[in-house]
């Protein structure tokens, strides 16, 4: 099964052998009967394994082109399990426009454990090299990034990381494996908030980590059950269900976002539009090379400053004012005081006149009318 959509629909979701049910059953069980002492039929406990969770992990790993995948209760729980493979004294290099929660986790939780972090502009390869030290173990990349939609070369950064003895971690939440498969460009690990496009309907929180590295897989599996931030079977089922339409949803997210970016680019109230599909976007050429389309997220700044940005966020009617992204419905937000409030005072803090859109899959005319009204 080589096609993306065919894999998304079938891998891990073969008809149930007992009943022929075409969807994976939701195994609401915390434990499994044993045929003899220490001989469980499936697993010894629900935290260790669950068949609905296994269906999700098999499918997502196949979509990322990974041998292994491990599901978690949230994107941050997955990141936490991955960062715990480090030891006190280890150093992580993070993009200077990373997701605020990743920055908070690394600094405010792992800072106390002796992990150090340096934030750099990942498009400046010399600056990335300079940030490396003898204890650097991970180079952590988001592309496209949140909320600035910066795009960096996974291939170039993986060469630098490997040359200097570190792992390249790519947060692929914004692109999804439909648009970009980081392992194929040399990344060692892919992390996801499946809460976003993978679930796709704003009804579930989840995380996922994929890799081809045996040692890392063993550590992640151990952390999954030893720490216990596992997703419940219903959550796993919702994610399996969402994944089946990931391809068609992403196509529509991309075409709607491109139309929104064009519309905003020629609007008098708009200062600047950040969308990798725009030819003048600094990462456009790299995006063309490593992504099959440009995604559903668009950010823009307003000439009228933060007052105007707040007004627009509160004036839209189809775009809902809310955090998160990647669902079928369009969302609008002000990153500096909402999703990225935890970066206040750091180099990651977004401008206060920056508005971020998660462009949904509604009719594009309705989205453009809504923005036109809110900007007028
Ligand atoms: C939302 C998000 C996360 C965190 O995921 P949760 O599921 O909310 O824990 C990590 N990275 C990116 C890019 C995100 O957008």
CA of 205 relative to ligand 1 center, distance in Å: 9
Could you say which of 244, 277, 310 is where a domain stops? 244
CA of 181 relative to ligand 1 center, distance in Å: 18
Active site residue 171: yes
Cβ of 173 less than 6 Å from ligand 1: yes
Cβ of 91 less than 6 Å from ligand 1: no
Higher local confidence (pLDDT), 143 or 350 = 143
Q: Residue 98: which pLDDT band, with cuts at 50, 70 and 90?
A: confident
Residue 103 has pLDDT above 80, yes or no: yes
The reported pLDDT for the residue numbered 332 is: 98
User: Which single residue is written with the structure tokens 């040399």?
Assistant: 186
Atom of ligand 1 nearest to the CA of 145: 13
The reported pLDDT for the residue numbered 348 is: 76
Do 58 and 100 have their domain in common?
A: yes
Do 119 and 202 have their domain in common?
A: yes
Do 190 and 266 have their domain in common?
A: no
pLDDT in tens, 321-337: 999 999 999 999 999 99
Mean pLDDT of 175-183: 98
Nearest to 235 by CA among 61, 87, 52, 57: 52
- Beta-strand (E) ranges in 288-350? 297-302, 320-321, 331-333
Cβ of 105 less than 6 Å from ligand 1: no
- d(Cα 154, Cα 76) in Å, to the nearest integer? 22
Do 190 and 209 have their domain in common?
A: yes
- d(Cα 266, Cα 268) in Å, to the nearest integer? 7
CA of 44 relative to ligand 1 center, distance in Å: 31
pLDDT in tens, 113-128: 999 999 999 999 999 9
Pocket test for ligand 1, best of 144, 146, 324 (most atoms within 8 A of CB): 146
Q: Structural domain tally of the chain?
A: 2
Cβ of 207 less than 6 Å from ligand 1: yes
- d(Cα 209, Cα 333) in Å, to the nearest integer? 27
Do 93 and 108 have their domain in common?
A: yes
CA of 192 relative to ligand 1 center, distance in Å: 7
pLDDT in tens, 225-249: 999 999 999 999 999 999 999 999 9
Do 9 and 144 have their domain in common?
A: yes
Neighbours of 375 (CB within 10 A): 20
Q: Tell me what the pLDDT averaged over the chain comes to.
A: 96
**Percent share of the chain, pLDDT over 90:** 93
Do 229 and 150 have their domain in common?
A: yes
Cβ of 235 less than 6 Å from ligand 1: no
Per the structure, the complete domain to which residue 32 belongs is given by 4-244
The CATH number assigned to the domain holding 276 equals: 3.90.1150.10
The reported pLDDT for the residue numbered 345 is: 82
The reported pLDDT for the residue numbered 1 is: 62
The CATH number assigned to the domain holding 194 equals: 3.40.640.10
CA of 16 relative to ligand 1 center, distance in Å: 32
**Eight-class DSSP state of 349:** P
Could you say which of 244, 268, 284 is where a domain stops? 244
Q: How far is CA 147 from the centre of its chain?
A: 12
Residue 342 has pLDDT above 80, yes or no: no
Q: Are 206 and 73 in contact (CB under 8 A)?
A: yes
Atom of ligand 1 nearest to the CA of 76: 9
Q: What angle is formed at CA 375 by the lines to CA 370 and CA 376, rounded to 5 degrees?
A: 100
The reported pLDDT for the residue numbered 115 is: 98
Do 300 and 174 have their domain in common?
A: no
Do 251 and 240 have their domain in common?
A: no
Helix axes 364-375, 305-315, angle to 10 degrees: 140
Active site residue 137: no
Do 210 and 277 have their domain in common?
A: no
Do 170 and 82 have their domain in common?
A: yes
Mean pLDDT of 186-213: 98
Cβ of 80 less than 6 Å from ligand 1: no
Cβ of 145 less than 6 Å from ligand 1: no
Q: Which of 171, 188, 235, 293 is catalytic?
A: 171
Cβ of 75 less than 6 Å from ligand 1: yes
The reported pLDDT for the residue numbered 188 is: 98
Residue 339 has pLDDT above 90, yes or no: no
Pairing between strand 207-211 and 189-193?
A: antiparallel
Cβ of 224 less than 6 Å from ligand 1: no
CA distances from 302 to 46, 102, 138, 344 (A): 50, 27, 36, 20
Mean pLDDT of 103-115: 96
Do 296 and 210 have their domain in common?
A: no
Could you say which of 218, 244, 270 is where a domain stops? 244
pTM of the model: 0.96
Q: Residue 343: which pLDDT band, with cuts at 50, 70 and 90?
A: confident
CA of 17 relative to ligand 1 center, distance in Å: 35
CA of 100 relative to ligand 1 center, distance in Å: 9
Nearest to 370 by CA among 337, 332, 323, 335: 332
Q: Which of 104, 196, 310, 356 is catalytic?
A: 196
**Eight-class DSSP state of 184:** G
């Amino acid at each position: 099964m080589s096609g993306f959509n065919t894999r998304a629909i079938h891998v891990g979701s073969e008809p149930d052998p007992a009943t022929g049910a075409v969807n994976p059953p939701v195994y609401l069980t915390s434990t499994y009967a044993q045929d003899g002492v220490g001989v469980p039929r499936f697993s010894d406990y629900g935290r260790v394994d669950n068949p609905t969770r296994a269906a999700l992990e098999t499918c997502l790993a196949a979509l990322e082109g990974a041998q292994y995948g491990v599901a978690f209760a949230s994107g941050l729980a997955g990141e936490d399990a991955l960062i715990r493979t480090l030891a006190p004294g280890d150093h992580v290099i993070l993009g200077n426009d990373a997701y605020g929660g990743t920055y908070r986790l690394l600094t405010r939780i792992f800072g106390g454990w002796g992990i150090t972090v340096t934030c750099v502009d990942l498009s400046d390869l010399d600056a990335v090299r300079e940030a490396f030290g003898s204890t650097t173990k991970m180079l952590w990349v988001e592309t496209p990034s949140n909320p600035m939609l910066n795009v960096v070369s996974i291939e170039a950064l993986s060469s630098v990381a490997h040359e200097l003895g570190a792992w390249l971690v790519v947060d692929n939440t914004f692109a999804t494996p439909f648009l970009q498969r980081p392992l194929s460009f040399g990344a060692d690990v892919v992390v996801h908030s499946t809460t976003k496009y993978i679930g796709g309907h704003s009804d579930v929180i989840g995380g996922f980590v994929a890799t081809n590295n045996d040692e890392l897989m063993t550590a992640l599996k151990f952390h999954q059950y030893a720490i216990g931030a596992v997703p419940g079977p219903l959550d796993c089922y919702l994610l399996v269900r969402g994944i089946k339409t990931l391809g068609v949803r992403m196509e529509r997210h991309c075409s709607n976002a491109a139309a929104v970016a064009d519309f905003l680019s020629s609007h008098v109230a708009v200062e600047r539009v950040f969308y990798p599909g725009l030819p003048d976007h600094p990462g456009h050429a790299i995006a063309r090379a490593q992504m099959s389309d440009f995604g559903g997220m668009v950010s823009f700044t307003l000439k009228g400053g933060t007052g105007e940005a707040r007004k627009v966020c509160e004036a839209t009617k189809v775009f809902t004012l809310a955090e998160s992204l990647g669902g079928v419905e369009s969302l609008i937000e002000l990153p500096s005081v909402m999703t990225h409030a935890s970066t206040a005072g750091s180099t990651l803090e977004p401008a206060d006149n920056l508005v971020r859109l998660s462009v949904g899959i509604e009719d594009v005319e309705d989205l453009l009318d809504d923005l036109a009204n809110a900007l007028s």
